[in-house]
Structure 1
Amino acid sequence: MRYFLDCEFDGFGGPLISLALVPADGGEEYYAVVEHERPCIDWVERHVIPYLDTVPQALRAEPQPRASVARELARWFEAFDDVEILADWPDDIAYFCRLLMTGPGEMVTVPAMSFRLLNLAGFSTARNSAVPHNALHDARALRDHVVHRGY
């Protein structure tokens, strides 16, 4: 299964705030908000935080601890044998992988995964997103762009 990933985080190197996975084929989407310290940096407070709930009602949830999101994600992936995750920014992959780690030497169980970092020079998820800087809408914009271009 092929998924497009986007994450929002509190500035360069700051904690993960939200993440979304959107399937290439239009199947079930995943969206989670991670508990985080407030206030965030000024830019994030203005451009990310107000839009965390601008997702379909079925995907809305209260912010959860990182470990809870990791376990939820592991359960969500149980139906898959092999997953390819595509992203257009290296930090998205790094934050996703860090989320899977739940302690020293421990991680949630996930299927075999491969990651593909796409260099989409000139493309901006924010400029093409229905709700810029919302992980779900940005992941959808990335999917639409990549699928339209035939990658």
Structure 2
Amino acid sequence: MLYSLDCEFNGFGGELISLALSGEAGELYLCRPQAELDGLDVHPWVEENVLPILDVAGARPDMMPLDQFGRAIQAFLAADKAPVVVADWPEDLIHLMQCLIISPGQMVRIPELAMKLVQVSAYPTDIAEAAQHNALWDARALRRAEALSRGEL
């Protein structure tokens, strides 16, 4: 199954704030709780453009500590025998991989996972209510843009 991935993070190279996977079989949207976000020195652009829309109509995140993201991803992908994750930015894939590491030398058990980096612009999108810079809406927009680029829509 194909899943589009998007992450929001604290500036380029910054800490992960939220992660979303959107696929035909379902969606996963994870966000760090406010207490963890309060501990970050948040980049001004992120403060203005990302934090206010973490929880918007059509995109309600599961709030959990960052160290629990890996287990949530594991549970989400458990039923899929061959998931393929598609991203349009390399750092999104890095953050996903880092979430799967749960301690030094240990990772969550997931099915065989393939990744694909695409050169597709998700915006502008014709998806009503889309909120750019919200991880779930961006994952949905990428899923749509990628399907359009393959001639599927």
Q: Tell me the TM-score normalised to structure 2 length.
A: 0.86
**Shift in Å, 1:39:** 4.5
In 1: Cα distance, 2:115 partner to 2:19 partner:
15
Q: Deviations over 1:1-40 (max 9, x none)?
A: 11000000001111000011011x3x31110002433441
The one-letter amino acid paired with 2:42 is: C
Partners of 2:3 and 2:12 in 1: CA distance: 24
What code does the residue aligned with 1:86 have?
V
Q: Report the 3-state secondary structure (helix = DSSP H, G, I; strand = E; otherwise coil) of the residue aligned with 1:5.
A: strand
Residue type of the partner of 1:61? D
Structure 1: give runs of 5+ residues left out of the alignment.
Answer: none
Is it true that 1:131 corresponds to 2:104 in the alignment?
no
Matches within 5 A, 1:19-58: 19-23=19-23, 25=24, 27-34=25-32, 35-36=36-37, 37-56=39-58
Return the alpha-carbon distance in structure 1 between the equivalents of residues 61 and 103 of structure 2: 27
Counterpart for residue 147 of structure 1: 147
Q: Corresponding residue for 1:95?
A: 95
Percent of aligned pairs with the same amino acid:
37
CA distance in 1, matches of 2:12, 2:27: 26
Is the CA contact (8 Å cut-off) linking 1:55 and 1:136 kept in structure 2?
Answer: no
Question: Counterparts of 1:22 and 1:103 in 2: how far apart (Å)?
Answer: 26
Aligned to 1:60: 61
Instruction: Write out the 4+ residue segments of structure 1 that deviate beyond 4 Å after TM superposition.
Output: none
Aligned equivalent of 1:85: 85
| Equivalent position SS for 2:83 | strand
Look up the SS of the partner of 2:95 in the other structure.
Answer: helix
Amino acid at match of 2:83: V
| SS at structure 2 position matched to 1:82 | coil
Counterpart of 1:73, as a letter, is I
Q: State the match for 1:5 in structure 2.
A: 5
Note closer, same or farther for the CA distance 1:15–1:73 as it changes in structure 2 (3 Å cut): same
C-alpha RMSD over aligned residues:
1.7
